[in-house]
Structure 1
């Protein structure tokens, strides 16, 4: 068989529906950045569009273009501000909703749109202290004075980033800073449409932060950076096959140590290069590692290799060619692995 990442579509739909129920009317914007956190941006976007989603977010211009090429009738918000003329032209041509985070970018985008006889749609981004771009809140008044004189910009929204990992006091301070930035825009009579600062986690933890919408990225995979008490379902299993079985005598050395009894070991053609046992930004998990075979949990022998792993099958009848699966974080699985949507 071809080693495959299984993507359980019913779990993705469960996760977005669960978040929608908790948001008390605020919208949910699926953030399909980084290939939808490894799930496959086009396939997931098509599925969510069929479920009624119309506004998506991405981080790179080519991601926005890919979604628009594949899915009719959607809008795409580009979360990264682009400040080169060539890219501004592409943004305006495709009616992508741009992010504006500086007066220079705003002037460029408006000028390009004017020359093309169009209005450029955009959201204004403020850096609340945990982002990588955006207007500084202290410059909100200056930004407002500049933005109101750019006739070829249609400001459809304003946003910042609240991850939800902050303590509530810090999150409140960031929220209040954002509110002051909105007030600065309001004093210049700028109509700015929707407002959004919260990730899914921030929206779940801080009801006051939900505003008009929350953005849902890695939580589409059923994972949060804190213990989940809301009922998300984890998405993603790598399925592979046993390629070889052998007996190892007691005392045999294996990656990460040695074995303490005669062991029947199955070799699998997957490793941490395929996302196995990768824990966020912390690298390979040091906890005991397991996989699943016919509903039974099997322990990994030693440390997984880059492209291969051994499993203890001493007490389990199995043969080369039998399938074994691992729970994985989809964003750790390389893009070259086949995805199957089930």
Structure 2
């Protein structure tokens, strides 16, 4: 019987701080840093991560929804909070004002509603206005900049604190991205010519912090890089980072099988020889990808061990043949650093699983306890 939790996600707040420091070293001293903590800080725990970022002087925090912002305010976070997906119902405008959140305005419906209500606000509401320079998602068209700026300038209760846009491929430096930078620069010039003076002009997310230094402007938005991963492994050398999350499970038991025995659902794996199997009580309901069946790996006693058979809802099987002394209670590292310089990073898991590191981290479920170190 295990005497410790079956699985734990250790969140290294020191690594988070180190990653912040590494990112800031690439920025002009006048450029601010927004830490993206949406989706429960990519699975790391939004409140705990935000508290750490606030303690080291982060300039801004970014969430996706009003509810996420309200939760952080109720948790005591006082750092400016950008609601990057704006509001989804008019009822959300009240908590935006009450909890001093900064919504992103990206279409005429939002702009018109906030402008109409602005005279009723007890204090000016800060907004960031988004323009679509090539993402094809949220934002006004660049050609609408003058019209939008005129509406904002005439709304007494709105403070246009920021102007923003987004790269669709921030990890790739190419002419498409460079044309976006030029287009956005013209938008900013148009907005300023209309008499607005946004304190924050921002375009770059994690990948573009490396690939588009000319697009740092006055603020960059660091998301996946804060947590120790990159949008592309090609950027790893340019910006060394430390994995913030380490997922460790305890082996429940081991069994031995002769050659020719099928294992797990679908009988997709058959033992090729006398084989020793470690049973790890973590599965796809915990966020460990089923797509790593017969192709993932774990670290046990400093050795790389292959995942065999299909990953189950609550169990994963690892071949520990040839690894001396493996027994119940031993650690199985699913994500993070092991002994002897071994490690499994989110980018590697994502490549094997056919997805992206963002999804790997966000899907580590609440069944796995977070422990902050």
For the superposition of Structure 1 and Structure 2, which TM-score range results when normalised by the shorter chain? over 0.9
Distance in 1 (CA, whole Å) between partners of 2:252 and 2:88 is: 50
Deviation at 1:51, TM superposition (A): 1.3
Residue in structure 2 matching 1:24, options 17, 23, 28: 28
Gaps of 5+ in 2: 336-345, 347-359
Residue in structure 1 matching 2:226, options 216, 220, 230: 220
Distance in 2 (CA, whole Å) between partners of 1:144 and 1:101 is: 12
Match of 1:142 in 2: 147
- Kept in 1, the 8 Å contact 2:65–2:86? The answer is no
- Residues 185 and 150 of structure 1: CA distance in aligned 2, closer, same or farther (over 3 Å): same
Q: Is 1:236–2:245 an aligned residue pair?
A: yes
TM-score (norm 2): 0.85
Q: Residue 134 of structure 1: SS of its match in structure 2?
A: coil
The list of structure 1 runs, each at least 4 consecutive aligned residues, that deviate by more than 4 angstroms after superposition, is none
Residue in structure 2 matching 1:310, options 277, 295, 317: 317
- Kept in 2, the 8 Å contact 1:4–1:337? The answer is yes
Q: Is 1:195–2:201 an aligned residue pair?
A: yes
How much is the aligned-residue C-alpha RMSD, in angstroms?
A: 1.9
Deviation at 1:84, TM superposition (A): 3.0
Q: Residue 29 of structure 1: SS of its match in structure 2?
A: strand
Q: Describe how 1:146-157 pairs up with structure 2 within 5 A.
A: 146-157=151-162
Q: Residue 150 of structure 1: SS of its match in structure 2?
A: coil
- Kept in 2, the 8 Å contact 1:81–1:133? The answer is no
Q: Is 1:257–2:237 an aligned residue pair?
A: no
Residue in structure 2 matching 1:98, options 84, 103, 108: 103
Deviation at 1:22, TM superposition (A): 0.9
Q: Describe how 1:38-53 pairs up with structure 2 within 5 A.
A: 38-53=43-58
Deviation at 1:48, TM superposition (A): 1.1
State the aligned residue count: 337
Q: Residue 106 of structure 1: SS of its match in structure 2?
A: helix
Deviation at 1:83, TM superposition (A): 5.4
Residue by residue over 1:232-283, the C-alpha shift from the partner in whole angstroms, topping out at 9 and shown as x without a partner, is 122222211121221111011124321111111111111233233x4xxxx7
Gaps of 5+ in 1: none
